[in-house]
Amino acid sequence: MKYADEFRDKEIALGLAKAIRNEANPNKPYRFMEFCGGHTHAISRYGLEDMLPKNVRMIHGPGCPVCVLPAGRIDMAIRLAERPDIILCVYGDLMRVPGSHGASLLKVKARGADIRMVYSTTDAIRIAADNPGREVVFFAIGFETTTPPTAVMIRLAEKKQIENFSVFCNHVLTPPAMQNILESPDIRNIGRVEIDGFVGPAHVSTIIGTAPYEFFAEEFGKPVVISGFEPLDMMQAILMLVRQVNEHRHEVENQYSRAVNRDGNLRAKEEVSDIFELRDQFEWRGLGQVPYSGLKLKRAYAKYDAEVRFDMDELHADDNPACECGAILRGVKKPVDCKLFGTVCTPETPMGSCMVSSEGACAAHWTYGRFRDHQQRRAS
Amino acid sequence: MKAYQRKLDIRNGCVDLSHGSGGRAMAQLISGLFHEAFGNEWLARGNDQSAFDVGAGRMVMTTDGYVVSPLFFPGGNIGSLAVHGTVNDIAMAGARPLYLSASFIIEEGFRFADLKTIAESMGEAARKAGVHIITGDTKVVERGKADGLFISTAGVGVVPDGLDLSAENARVGDRVLISGTLGDHGVAIMSRRQNLAFETEIVSDSVSLNGLVANMVEAGGRSIRLMRDPTRGGLAAALNEIAQQSGLGFHLIEQAIPVKPGVAAACELLGLDPLHVANEGKLVAIVASEAAGAVLAAMRAHPLGREAADIGEAVADDHHFVQMATSFGGGRIVDWLSGEQLPRIC
């Protein structure tokens, strides 16, 4: 497949693996967090861990928007969907995300709620136009990458005077979450693992550019390498991080230069800042409340804001106390260290954020990598 | 004297509740549309059942329901699929399929023209596979109670002497053979889904595999441990199922697994794994290693097995993992699909 196979070339990968092995100091641990679920998925799907030396370890961060959506927000969506006047439009991977007490959109749909799986924001607008007698709510989730399409859709609804359309906004931001990983008060309770560098987001950075990470790299003294989602991108980014650590640098470097520049997509950023504003805080499954990490619609667009339009109550549900997602997301624990992993918590019945979507740390490990646990157990 | 009955208006007419009521309308639908399409001596006798001779040896029986959406897709329709699917389930026992039954649940308002096209596809598929549809049933339900048409087929076939294909026959060292490219059916269906329509040249691989199977059985006989057609859940589900049932594991080589570039591209775009995508005209065979070369050659000599490939082997593994060496150089599990990739694929 053109434009994909080039970034999956085994020979080049082996060359990069060799360079990483040669340049990484064998007496020193290198602990890198890949923020994005897309990276986590690539690592697992292509078996990248097998190609890295033992002292280069990848910690799987919280960058999967489906995973970090808290149960309370799912409960809120379920309440909406149960109203007979509402059609709720959602992306398919949200259907199985657990709310509280084992509820999910999939189960509510089976009981008769009108929930439609859509593949793009424009599908939701079309459904609204086709059903003028019903209220159509789009369940908007995602990082900076998916926020501009939601903004465009609100513009479109405005222009076409589609009055029965609104958005349940759950858009979140990357930089505040990265910061939270390093400095949240929770660290006192769950301990911390030193992180030596970050593999920075690919698609998110096409929108926001590399500039927003500069403060972060400087303030925390951590190197950040923006990387594409293809396996060769990742290998190269890891090599770049190894070099920064060896040279005691902490800069923002851009491996994904074919798609990302320093300033990002100005038009998209403008649309987003016209329509959305920061929430004081937003809850992340696994991380808890993270200050200034979520977006909501500005008051001028309140009629498109489902939370205002339907006077939705903010709901909260506690995660299972045995769930170790918080520690796993910070690299303190591995999926196998969690009692729930693979027992009651599996991709079919996810309990915690890391198991919810295939991009979560636990789900990726379960789906692609759990044979290594048995290999390790045998070896020891 | 026979009562006057207006001919079925195939071009403009549609099914109404009277066509399921047991009255003249139903008789007319059956004789005018189905008998014509399926044309055989058993149906012509008009009994509620059909009698046929049973030869010596073991027989296999299978049944399957078809609810595919959309009813017409590139490379086939629900009718041809309902024949191919059931013929293949029989063929996977190494058996020669003989007779099918077909049961139709039709929503009122369904166009005769579409029903005729579908019935004719079934007739043609049956003739090509060398089987006869010898009994059937028609029910009509109110509008909104079925999405156009559901078909259920059952089939019987006869197993050659000495053959007993089953997962427990698999042994460490056996080879894993597949008959061709993966994911064609699933991608063809997806490309026609209302909210997902995209342009692709991919057509469904839906086809009867009994001819290919006969060649394989001739070449491999009892060295063929078992066969499966990787339909819903794709190759991943088929191999995980076999691993569980045989108490073994599998090691696959990603590079050896044939996938059409168009299918790979569509999967990439939709975030799917071709190993999870449904097939309706492919089989996976577990074959003793010493006979694998001969069976593979027999597969490649058949038009439906030209792209057949040896993709891996059975290994001892207490955890029954299906593992794969990725083209990239790492290793990973090929797990069951979790959740629903696409409802009503077949």
Q: Give the mutation candidate from A235, A371, A372, A374 for the B interface (greatest B CB count, under 10 A).
A: A371
**Which positions in chain A touch B330 (Cβ < 8 Å)?**
46-51
Question: Using CA atoms, how far apart are residues B220 and B223, in angstroms rounded to an integer?
Answer: 5
Amino acid at position A213, single letter? Y
Asked whether the beta carbons of A196 and A331 are under 8 A apart, the reply is no
Per-domain boundaries in chain B: 14-159, 167-333
Q: Is A134 on the interface with B (CB under 8 A)?
A: no
Which residue of chain A comes nearest to B265, CA vs CA?
A1
Q: Is A47 on the interface with B (CB under 8 A)?
A: yes
Residue pairs spanning A and B at CB distance below 8 A: 69
Q: Is A107 on the interface with B (CB under 8 A)?
A: no
Q: Do B332 and A47 touch (CB under 8 A)?
A: yes
Residue A356 has pLDDT above 90, yes or no: no
* Cα angle value A38/A269/A285 (rounded, 5°): 45
Question: What's the pTM value of the predicted model, to 2 decimals?
Answer: 0.87
Which residue of chain B comes nearest to A97, CA vs CA?
B339
Q: Transcribe A73-135 into DSSP letters.
A: HHHHHHHHHTSTTEEEEEEGGGTT---GGG--HHHHHHTT--EEEESSHHHHHHHHHH-TTSE
**Which positions in chain A touch B196 (Cβ < 8 Å)?**
119
Q: Which of A50, A96, A348 sits opposite B331 (nearest CB)?
A: A50
Which residue of chain A comes nearest to B335, CA vs CA?
A367
On the question of a cis peptide bond just before residue A132, with omega within 30 degrees of 0, the verdict is: no
Strand partners, A171: A142
Question: Using CA atoms, how far apart are residues B271 and B342, in angstroms rounded to an integer?
Answer: 12
Q: Do A347 and B332 touch (CB under 8 A)?
A: no
Which residue of chain A comes nearest to B272, CA vs CA?
A358
Q: Which position has the token pair 């989602």?
A: A229
Which residue of chain B comes nearest to A374, CA vs CA?
B319
Which pLDDT belongs to residue B2? 57
Question: Using CA atoms, how far apart are residues A97 and A89, in angstroms rounded to an integer?
Answer: 15
**Which positions in chain B touch A4 (Cβ < 8 Å)?**
264-265, 268
Question: Using CA atoms, how far apart are residues A302 and A169, in angstroms rounded to an integer?
Answer: 11
Which pLDDT belongs to residue A55? 95
- b/e burial code for range A7-18 (CB count within 10 A of at least 16 → b): bbbbebbeebbe
The architecture CATH gives domain B14-159: 2-Layer Sandwich (3.30)
**Which positions in chain B touch A50 (Cβ < 8 Å)?**
329-331
Q: Do A369 and B332 touch (CB under 8 A)?
A: yes
**What is the rounded (10 degree) CA torsion for A140, A146, A152, A154?**
10
Q: Do B329 and A348 touch (CB under 8 A)?
A: no
Per-domain boundaries in chain A: 71-172+294-309
Question: Using CA atoms, how far apart are residues A295 and B35, in angstroms rounded to an integer?
Answer: 63
Which residue of chain A comes nearest to B325, CA vs CA?
A47
Which residue of chain B comes nearest to A123, CA vs CA?
B195
Q: Read off the pLDDT of residues A147-172 as tens digits, 9 standing for 90 and up.
A: 999 999 999 999 999 999 999 999 99
Question: Using CA atoms, how far apart are residues B18 and A276, in angstroms rounded to an integer?
Answer: 58
Structure tokens at A268: 């998209």
Q: Do B335 and A366 touch (CB under 8 A)?
A: yes
Asked whether the beta carbons of B287 and B225 are under 8 A apart, the reply is yes
Which pLDDT belongs to residue A327? 86
Q: Is A44 on the interface with B (CB under 8 A)?
A: yes
N-to-C CA span, chain B: 45
Q: Do B330 and A47 touch (CB under 8 A)?
A: yes
SS3 A141: strand
Q: Is A14 on the interface with B (CB under 8 A)?
A: yes
**Which positions in chain A touch B332 (Cβ < 8 Å)?**
44-47, 368-369
B14-159 and B167-333 have identical folds: no
Q: Which of A119, A348, A368 sits opposite B333 (nearest CB)?
A: A368
Q: Read off the pLDDT of residues A219-261 as tens digits, 9 standing for 90 and up.
A: 999 999 999 999 999 999 999 999 999 999 999 999 999 999 9
Q: Does domain A71-172+294-309 have CATH number 3.40.50.11740?
A: yes
The architecture CATH gives domain B167-333: Alpha-Beta Complex (3.90)
Average pLDDT along chain A: 92
How close, in Å, is residue A271 to chain B by CA atoms? 26
Q: Give the mutation candidate from B320, B326, B328 for the A interface (greatest A CB count, under 10 A).
A: B328
How close, in Å, is residue A73 to chain B by CA atoms? 21
**Of B63, B251, B283, which Cα lies nearest the Cα of B165?**
B283
Q: Read off the pLDDT of residues A61-114 as tens digits, 9 standing for 90 and up.
A: 888 888 889 999 999 999 999 999 999 999 888 888 888 888 899 999 999 999
ipTM: 0.80
Asked whether the beta carbons of B333 and B321 are under 8 A apart, the reply is yes
Tens of pLDDT, residue by residue, chain B (346 residues)? 555 667 888 989 999 999 988 888 888 899 889 999 998 999 989 899 999 988 777 999 999 999 999 999 999 999 999 999 999 999 999 999 999 999 999 999 999 999 999 999 999 999 999 999 999 999 999 999 999 999 999 999 999 988 999 999 999 999 999 999 999 999 999 888 866 667 778 999 999 999 999 999 999 999 999 999 999 999 999 999 999 999 999 999 999 999 999 999 999 888 889 999 999 999 999 999 999 999 999 999 999 999 999 999 999 999 999 999 998 888 999 999 876 666 788 8
